[in-house]
Every structure is written in C-alpha cells, then in structure tokens.
Structure 1
Amino acid sequence: MSTTHTLDIPGGRLRYHVRGSGPLLLLVGAPMDAAPFAPLAEELAGEHTVVTHDPRGVSGSTLDDPDQDSTPDLRAEDALAIIDALGAESADVLGSSGGAVTGLALVTRHPTRVRTLVAHEPPVLELLPDVARRRAEVDDIIETFRREGPGAAFGKFMATAGFETGEDAPPPPPSESPEQDLADAAHFFLHELRGTTRYVPDVAALRAGPARVVVGVGADSGGLLTYRTSQALADLLGAPPVVFPGEHGGFVDRPKEFADVLREVLAR
C-alpha cells in the first residue's frame, strides 16, 4: 500500500509515492515514471521506507514551462527535495538508466545526503571511446522525433541501445492517457535525452565519498550499450559492477530476485 504526495519545486510540482517503514530508500528512473517501480517497492517496503516518483515533466510531475530541459543536476535537486520533505538526513538510492545518472549527480552535488547509490546501467555515453559516434546517434534520434514522431524515434532509440529486432524492449514511459504518452515522449526526446547522455560523471568526487557508489548491470544486458557504459564507469571507480537479475529493466521483470540482490548490496 502506498500514499501519494505532491511537492512544490521551483517551476513545478513533483508527484511521489511512499511505502513501508524503515531507512529511506529512493527508487529513481528517467524517463520512466514511478509505476514500473511499484512491484520492486512492494518487495522492499517491509524493511525500508520506499519512495518512487515521476521525474520532472513526466506523467504526474508537471512543469510551469513544459519546454524546460530536464538535466541530471535539476533532477538531483528534485530527489533532494523529496529527502528533505520526508525529514531524512540521508537515503539509499537505486537509480536505473537515466535515473542512475540522476543519482550520480545527487552524490556529486550532495555527497553527505546519500548513504549508498546503486547506479544500475547509467547511459553515460561520454565515457566511451566511440563517444563521437554515440553523440551523433542521439542527435539523429532527436531529429527523427521531430520529423517522424515518437514511433520512429523510439525504434531508433531501441536499436542504438542494442536491442535486437523482435526482442522485447522496454516500452516508452507509461502514463495515464494517449495525450500524456505523447507529451512524455516529446519531453524525453526534446528536453531530456541529450542532457542525460552527455552528462560527464565527476569520478574524483564519486570516489572521494562519503557516499558509497556501486554500479549495477543486468545479467542479460551484455549486448546493450548501457552494459558498456556501466563497465566503463565501474572501471573508473575501481570496483567491478554488481550483477542484477534480468536485463536493463530487470527490476520490472523480476522484482523479487532484483530486491534480493539490492538488499545484499545495501547491507554491505
């Protein structure tokens, strides 16, 4: 069972959900909203106060200016605002995909407010040796959205991410209506994708602590671009990535098994 709350932030409002009791744990996505994290949150609510939220400009988290870009730094401040609203000194954070980049920014900007960050498959393309090619692919995906709309753009996005033809890939961010789906897609392609993938982690700050940063990868993600970016970040941080069940969205497909691994990581 969860309770739903709204929180005013500069230029907008966040919608977030709270389950359980115990030490605070944030489950953070981008562009994914709160809904796909619900099964994992239920698994963990017996020992944690688990918070999920819609990132700025997505689903129930609205912006006064819909054309405002969503950067990892802004999303990090949103996460901190939720921690503050709950009266917590610090939190554990699981960030997935773009939410993992949010978590990296949060640790960099506010290292004393995070106990452990598990960065699950962050798309930090700037760490790759073929970054020029990857930037061009992102730019092409965005232009495809402008020319041809969300279907063609998501097709290119999934292909460049490494999903094979016919393979089940994560769907576009779920929402509450076709109109919201279109708005969320526009937000992702026009105002979020470039800023997230061009974020450069401050490795020195991440290694300096006091927050512990753990990189996670899916056991079945070996063919994905986010496997490469995760391995690159883990190498820079000096520790091998932790292997979680499933692929990029393992927490959606296998929430119980994913929760078991996350518990082990947080208990270390």
Structure 2
Amino acid sequence: MTTHPTDTASAGSLTVPGARLHYEVRGEGPLIVLAGAPMDAAAFAPLAELLATDHTVLTTDPRGINRSSLDDPEQESTPPLRADDLARLIAHVGSGPAVAVGSSGGAVSVLALVQTRPDLVHTVVAHEPPLIELLEDRERLRAGTEDLIATYLAGDVTRAWKKFFAQADIAMPEPLIEQMFGGERDPRQVADERRWFAHEMRASTYWRPDPAALRTAATRVLVGVGDDSAGQLCDRTSRALARSLGTEATTFPGGHTGFVENPDVFAARLRAVVRGD
C-alpha cells in the first residue's frame, strides 16, 4: 500500500471477479464505508479525513470508474455486483461489521449489500437513492431516462445533461451546463461519465429493493435526504423508500452532494445519526 502525501489515505488494489478495485483506508477504529456510484473515492476524501479521527474509513472507486479497472469494459454495473465488491472490500480490510454510507447510486449499492450480506453492516445510511421504481410516475421517468441516455450516446452531451437535470428537478442554468460539459474536458472524467450513462444509470435507477428483507434484517437501515433537496426527484424516491420501510427519512445538511459541499457539517450530522442521537 502507498500513502499519499496530501492526506492520510493508504491506497490499495483488490482483485475481485471481473475487476480490480482501487480502495483507500484512513484512520483507526470502528469501520465506516463511504460508497458512491458513479462518484469515486476522491469525492469522499474530505469527509473521510474528518471521520478518520476516530474511525477506520474505507472509500473506493466503483468498478469501471477511474482507477478500478474491468476485464470487460462493456460490463453492466449492477447494484448486486457493486454490493459484492463492497462485501469483499469490507472482508479484506477487516474491522467490521461496518457502518456503510452510500450516496446516490452508492446508496443503492449499500441497500443491495444489506439484502445479501447483512452480517457485514450493522448500520446503513442510504443517502438519496434514485429508486424511480418506487414512484407512481415510474413509467414517465423510465421513458425520460431512456431518452436522455440515447441523447448522450448519440453525442449530444450538453443536451443529455440538460435533460438529466430537468428530470432530477434540479435547477441548473443552461449556460452553466454548457460551461461544465461543453468545452475541453478531462478524458478520465469523460470516460467515467460515458460508462455511467451507458452501463450504470439504468441498473441503479431501475433496481427494486426488497422492503421486507430490509425491514427484517438485523442491520439498522436509515434513509437520508438533504435539507436542500425538497421537491427534487431523489427527495421523492428517498421518502418513498422510507415509507416502504415504515420509517421516516433522516435529514442531512445540504442537497444531493451535501457531503462534498460542506463536509464538516455533514460529518457532524452523520456522527449524530450513527450514534442514534
């Protein structure tokens, strides 16, 4: 393992069926896993550093993203596959059972992990999982998803992103979208983005959780939603999931990526939630 001078992370690589997973470990103590999809380990680094003062914190690039390479680049990234990857990483790192915190597609991954390996996670926080199948307008949303994916794969990247933000009910000015996605871009970012559109978005958003399995698991399952996400698609999906589990959504500061925008306050809230305050 190698230590990066910019932070306290030790990086490693774990070979799993069909892939080699890049992962990072910080700190010592009870294990917390921070999982995204398609978001990679780098996005969680500030939050991980804050939690590593008294925890072992595991982050990873999901299979096919950034430093986690695939044997078959066209393989679909499904929640069960990503859950199996997380299970193997937790077993490899040790210090479990863990707290697993998943964001967006990563929230879907950790829910799938509860359904397959509840023995590895004693608490799961699924922060804004985009589970459109739980909503009454799922057919409209599926049609919109197919349309925006087709638009992206046809080469109209900015138009695809405009459709994405519109369907997500996230207000994003068109000039900003053009600025973010229309000019020269990092090739790695483009490759990861294409993989998400082509091989991950459907599997994550069309996945149906098993509410009975989640309710009866020994794992404590919490559904997180951002204070600033009211009215957005992931606010609706998160609250629908919480209802299916017979619980209330747990609020966190910020929006869909609040842990990136203000990791300090997010970490404080996460600590309180995990303690049960």
Task: Find the counterpart in structure 1 of residue 262 from structure 2.
Answer: 254
In 2 relative to 1, CA 172–8 (structure 1 residues): closer, same or farther, beyond 3 Å? farther
Q: Select 2:242's aligned residue among 222, 234, 239.
A: 234
Task: Find the counterpart in structure 1 of residue 198 from structure 2.
Answer: 190
Task: Find the counterpart in structure 2 of residue 212 from structure 1.
Answer: 220
Structure 2 gaps of 5+ residues are 1-7
Which of 145-154 and 251-260 deviates more? 145-154
Task: Find the counterpart in structure 1 of residue 272 from structure 2.
Answer: 264
Task: Find the counterpart in structure 1 of residue 20 from structure 2.
Answer: 13
Deviation at 1:172, TM superposition (A): 8.5
Deviation at 1:118, TM superposition (A): 0.3
The 1-side partners of 2:172 and 2:158 are apart by: 15
Is the Cα–Cα contact under 8 Å of residues 44 and 50 in structure 1 kept in the other structure?
yes
Structure 1 gaps of 5+ residues are none
The 2-side partners of 1:128 and 1:196 are apart by: 15
DSSP 3-state at the match of 1:59: coil
**1:82-97 paired onto structure 2 within 5 Å:** 82-97=89-104
Task: Find the counterpart in structure 1 of residue 233 from structure 2.
Answer: 225
Question: In the alignment, residue 22 of structure 2 is paired with which amino acid?
Answer: R
1:156 counterpart = 2:168? no
In 2 relative to 1, CA 128–247 (structure 1 residues): closer, same or farther, beyond 3 Å? same
Task: Find the counterpart in structure 2 of residue 137 from structure 1.
Answer: 144
Is the Cα–Cα contact under 8 Å of residues 149 and 197 in structure 2 kept in the other structure?
yes
Task: Find the counterpart in structure 1 of residue 5 from structure 2.
Answer: none
1:80 counterpart = 2:92? no
Is the Cα–Cα contact under 8 Å of residues 24 and 90 in structure 1 kept in the other structure?
yes
**TM-score, scaled relative to structure 2:** 0.92
Is the Cα–Cα contact under 8 Å of residues 119 and 214 in structure 1 kept in the other structure?
yes
The 1-side partners of 2:247 and 2:96 are apart by: 27
The 1-side partners of 2:153 and 2:131 are apart by: 24
1:32 counterpart = 2:43? no
Task: Find the counterpart in structure 1 of residue 122 from structure 2.
Answer: 115
Is the Cα–Cα contact under 8 Å of residues 141 and 157 in structure 1 kept in the other structure?
yes
Task: Find the counterpart in structure 2 of residue 243 from structure 1.
Answer: 251
Which of 46-55 and 85-94 deviates more? 85-94
Deviations 1:63-84 (A, max 9, x none): 0110000000000000011001
The 2-side partners of 1:192 and 1:88 are apart by: 30
Which of 198-207 and 145-154 deviates more? 145-154
The 2-side partners of 1:184 and 1:153 are apart by: 15
Deviations 1:165-198 (A, max 9, x none): 32989x989xxx8221221111101100000000
Percent of residue pairs identical: 50
Please provide the CA RMSD for this pair.
1.8
Question: In the alignment, residue 45 of structure 2 is paired with which amino acid?
Answer: A
1:203 counterpart = 2:206? no
1:42 counterpart = 2:42? no
**TM-score, scaled relative to structure 1:** 0.95
Deviations 1:20-64 (A, max 9, x none): 110010000011111111111111101110011100000000101
The 2-side partners of 1:89 and 1:247 are apart by: 29
Is the Cα–Cα contact under 8 Å of residues 64 and 195 in structure 2 kept in the other structure?
yes
The 2-side partners of 1:101 and 1:66 are apart by: 21
In 2 relative to 1, CA 240–198 (structure 1 residues): closer, same or farther, beyond 3 Å? same
Which of 124-133 and 153-162 deviates more? 153-162
